[in-house]
Amino acid sequence: MDYNYYDEGEDIDYIEFGEDSGGDIDYGFHSGHNQGNFYSDAAAEGKEFAVMDRLVQNLEACVQPSLLQVAKYVTPMLGLCLIGRLLCLLYAMKRRLPPAGVSLRDANSIVVAPLHLIHATTGLILLYATLGQRMGERVGLLLILSTLGYLMLQLVRVYSGKRAATSIAVLTIGSQFLYELAIWRQRSDWPQLRGVQMVVNMKLISLGFDLASGQVPRMPGPLAYLGYMYSPATCALGPWISYGRYVECLVARGKWLLTLRQLVLNMLLCLLAVAVSNCLAHALGELASDSHFLLMYTEALGVRSSHYFVSFMAQALLVSSGQALDGESKELDEGLLGPLVTRPWQIEWPRSLSVLVRSWNIPMHEWLKHYIYGGFKEHNLGHTFWAVLCTYVVSSLLHGMDLRIYLVLLFLAIFAESERLLRRHLASLLDACLAAGQCKGPDSCRSSRCPRRLGWTSAWGWLVRLTNLIFTLVAIFHLAYLGIVLLNETLNLDGSPVGEVESFVWHWSEAGYLSHYIGFGMFLLYLFIS
């Protein structure tokens, strides 16, 4: 410090300050100085204050902008969905369409055509409005790709039955791969379009299978096809819906009050999820930096809540356009939130990995189960193993060329399967409620040792509870361990996201590859017992 720089006559220049000497500045708590009443022992509390300061700053610099951006992003989408729904309702009232809805046979009729048109238009406007700049070009690209899909769909006319559907599936996935190769290299914005295209592909494949199996009696006309592909509820963020469901909900006759309640609830959860994902998870990670597991857990929490965010947003869109989902589960949460894309509570506190996988993306799970796994099993094409493997491959390929997702899905499949086998075996061996799936309540529990039936005093009941708890904790560990792989490094403006692969490998080695040992250990234990 020179404080006599102003002595006239002699000028002293201190330029030993290099370019980078400003780096080591304390980030401590400062704002106490302004008020004049400083804390007497501020040094002792420095750390806590710094943490608090960071949290407050975080709130200001991260949560607020994130929420605003999300609100700005979502509002036009919700508005378009509501407008589309309203227009359809008005048209149905004017034309006096039957309240039972449109049957699949009439889906191509001229009376219904305007409904498809409304859906397709609002959906395309939605994409146009949310895809960002050069949106015209992007929407054009997507339209070209879906036109190609429609051409592929015509294969059903050429071939018949399963062969056509299978070839459509293969062609679709192959073309997705080609797009990845051809377009991804060219366009930096492909990751943005990929999500949209993925949903389109899933719809296309399901439509192929449904046509082949006769569930959809007639080939949808071009307008119906476009309406299905670009229905505003599902075109931007998914989830997949079947053609049947789409036609069923062409005119949504839900209660508006219920819609509003579900919408608000979904949006609140969505905002909460984005705040956690962007800001809070990271801040918590900084707080919990002592333990590696906690660090991994919080980082993976960011990944998970990012998924919840998108799912809740998708749910809000579904609710606002009155679109129902496939799958027959009618639960309490459905009344609260409307159609469910994900069940975070079953992911954050999972009973087992397989329950977790099922709850992650419910429509996608339904799709895989119904069309890929089910299709495979139906024709007895081989052992269950091959069906599982095929499901895994299709699911991976659908996600595009992303090595990390392949890796996560692979380990997830192995761990979940070995856990499921072990628990099934244990359940039958001990006649206790230990299976991977939830026991269906006290009456329908098939095993004799069911904690709920045994009550609070029985030792067996507690033992079963404890075992299930241990499995839950193991699943949570797996979750953090695998979730860290998908950690989408925040994009610093200074450069490309660095060390994605290194980062998760580092985390894994830091955790001692424990999850792998546990996963394979379970499998060995299962082999040993059986």
In the window 367-406, what residues touch another protein (CB under 8 A)? Answer: 399-400, 402, 404-405
SS3 374: helix
- Give the interface segment with another protein, choosing from 132-140, 152-160, 218-226, 516-524 (CB under 8 A): 132-140
Per the DSSP assignment, residues forming a β-bridge with 449 are: 432
Q: Interface with another protein includes 86 (CB under 8 A)?
A: no
Cβ 133 to another protein shortest distance, Å: 4
H or E segment at 167? helix 162-179
The per-residue b/e assignment along 284-310, b for 16 or more CB within 10 angstroms, e otherwise, is bbeeeeeeeeebbbbbbbbbbbbbbbb
**CB contact set of 323 (below 8 Å; sequence gap of 6+):** 231, 233, 234, 241, 245, 246, 249, 252, 317, 339
Q: Active site includes 365?
A: no
Cβ 490 to another protein shortest distance, Å: 4
The token pair that represents 196 in the structure block = 């949209």
Residue 11 or 328 having the CB closest to another protein: 11
Please select the residue that binds another protein; options are 43, 57, 331, 529, rule is CB under 8 A: 57
How many other CB atoms are there within 10 angstroms of residue 361's CB atom? Answer: 20
Residue with tokens 């050429």: 158
Q: Length of the chain, please?
A: 530
The token pair that represents 164 in the structure block = 């056509």
Q: Which of 116, 282, 307, 399 is catalytic?
A: 399
Q: Interface with another protein includes 2 (CB under 8 A)?
A: yes
Q: Interface with another protein includes 61 (CB under 8 A)?
A: yes
Where are the alpha helices (H) located in 230-341, listed in sequence order?
Answer: 243-248, 256-275, 281-287, 292-321, 332-337
Q: Interface with another protein includes 217 (CB under 8 A)?
A: no
Site string for another protein, 312-341 (x = CB under 8 A): -x----------------------------
Q: Interface with another protein includes 49 (CB under 8 A)?
A: yes
Subset of 403-422 contacting another protein (CB under 8 A): 404-405
Q: Please spell the DSSP secondary structure of 267-283, one letter per residue.
A: HHHHHHHHHIIIIIHHH
The token pair that represents 530 in the structure block = 């059986």
Please select the residue that binds another protein; options are 153, 168, 269, 279, rule is CB under 8 A: 279
Q: Interface with another protein includes 16 (CB under 8 A)?
A: yes
CB 229 within 8 A of CB 203: yes
CA-to-CA distance for 219 and 272, rounded, in angstroms? 42
Q: Please spell the DSSP secondary structure of 359-373, one letter per residue.
A: HHSHHHHHHIIIIII
Subset of 228-257 contacting another protein (CB under 8 A): 236-238
Subset of 495-524 contacting another protein (CB under 8 A): 495-496
Please select the residue that binds another protein; options are 110, 214, 493, 502, rule is CB under 8 A: 493
Per the DSSP assignment, residues forming a β-bridge with 432 are: 449
Please select the residue that binds another protein; options are 161, 191, 217, 512, rule is CB under 8 A: 191
- Give the interface segment with another protein, choosing from 188-196, 367-375, 378-386, 475-483 (CB under 8 A): 188-196
- Give the interface segment with another protein, choosing from 162-170, 382-390, 472-480, 484-492 (CB under 8 A): 484-492
Q: Interface with another protein includes 277 (CB under 8 A)?
A: yes
Residue with tokens 């660090």: 295
Residue 390 or 405 having the CB closest to another protein: 405
Please select the residue that binds another protein; options are 45, 137, 333, 378, rule is CB under 8 A: 45
Tell me the CA end-to-end span of the chain in Å, nearest whole number: 76
CB 305 within 8 A of CB 330: no
Please select the residue that binds another protein; options are 125, 249, 295, 310, rule is CB under 8 A: 310
Q: Please spell the DSSP secondary structure of 103-166, one letter per residue.
A: -GGGGGSTTTHHHHHHHHHHHHHHHHHHS-TTHHHHHHHHHHHHHHHHHHHTHHHHS-THHHHH
**CB contact set of 144 (below 8 Å; sequence gap of 6+):** none
- Give the interface segment with another protein, choosing from 97-105, 130-138, 173-181, 259-267 (CB under 8 A): 130-138
Cβ 56 to another protein shortest distance, Å: 9
- Give the interface segment with another protein, choosing from 70-78, 104-112, 152-160, 510-518 (CB under 8 A): 70-78
Residue 306 or 315 having the CB closest to another protein: 306
Q: Counting beta carbons within 10 angstroms of the beta carbon of residue 375, is it exposed (0 to 12), middle (13 to 18) or buried (19 or more)?
A: buried
SS3 101: coil
Number of residues located near another protein, criterion CB under 8 A: 89
SS3 327: coil
Please select the residue that binds another protein; options are 118, 124, 125, 131, rule is CB under 8 A: 131
Please select the residue that binds another protein; options are 186, 380, 457, 492, rule is CB under 8 A: 492
Cβ 189 to another protein shortest distance, Å: 5
CA-to-CA distance for 462 and 91, rounded, in angstroms? 59
Q: Interface with another protein includes 62 (CB under 8 A)?
A: yes
Cβ 14 to another protein shortest distance, Å: 4
- Give the interface segment with another protein, choosing from 21-29, 423-431, 450-458, 509-517 (CB under 8 A): 21-29
Catalytic residues: 399
